[in-house]
Amino acid sequence: MKGKLLLGMLLASLGLSAQTTHHIDWFMGVSNTAASMTIDQGDTVMWTWTDNLPHTVSSTTGTETFDSGTLTGNGQTFSHVFDNVGETNYKCNIHAMMQGAITVDAVAGIKDNQAIIFEYFPNPVTDILTINAKDTIDHIEIYDVNGKEVMNSESGNRTSKIYMSNYRAGTYFVKVFTGNESKSITIVKN
Ligand SMILES: [Cu+2]
């Protein structure tokens, strides 16, 4: 009990740190939908260049300020931790059509967002959604936009691959459980 309290105080004093990493492929022709997402306070968004053109990831208006500078080359990445609740619009300074918005929701408690650490990719997904967690993933549930459960699978590994090629195109909510904690992410299936 005392140890748990001390750990809680330690985490609180550190503030919110990045827990879930959301990936966005960043390339000429990326849609606004694919470049936009809603995340939790303290989460990280990582943009990965998937063509060989020069791009930037530059905030324009909103709660957060960031600028990758010009990066060129397949595989380049830029990350930003979103600590502030609200919406931030961003774009590529070279190709104005490349733009999106990141919306940050408040977390109910720091514990919720710090207990579960994982990343997932790609989003949107066509075939396989990969989830890498710091700890063992107990199980994963997937719900459609109507709240209907479409998958419930045991994992037992730190990496889970979900085969989604047979899923209908649309938005899905993926709930990841590790230990007593769970966290939901929103996935778009092409
Ligand atoms: Cu660009």
pLDDT in tens, 94-131: 999 999 999 999 876 555 555 678 888 998 899 999 99
| Confidence label for 8 from pLDDT (cuts 50, 70 and 90) | very low
pLDDT in tens, 9-21: 444 434 444 478 9
| Confidence label for 79 from pLDDT (cuts 50, 70 and 90) | very high
Distance 74 CA to ligand 1 centre (A): 12
pLDDT at 66 over 50: yes
Contacts 24+ apart (CB under 8 A), 143-152: 143/172, 143/173, 143/175, 144/170, 144/171, 144/172, 144/173, 145/170, 145/171, 145/172, 145/173
Q: What pLDDT shows up at residue 15?
A: 42
Distance 61 CA to ligand 1 centre (A): 18
Lowest mean pLDDT among 22-26, 76-80, 183-187: 183-187
Q: What are the start-end ranges of the H helices in the chain?
A: 2-14, 110-114
Q: What pLDDT shows up at residue 109?
A: 57
Distance 98 CA to ligand 1 centre (A): 6
Q: What pLDDT shows up at residue 108?
A: 67
Distance 65 CA to ligand 1 centre (A): 18
pTM greater than the 0.75 cutoff: no
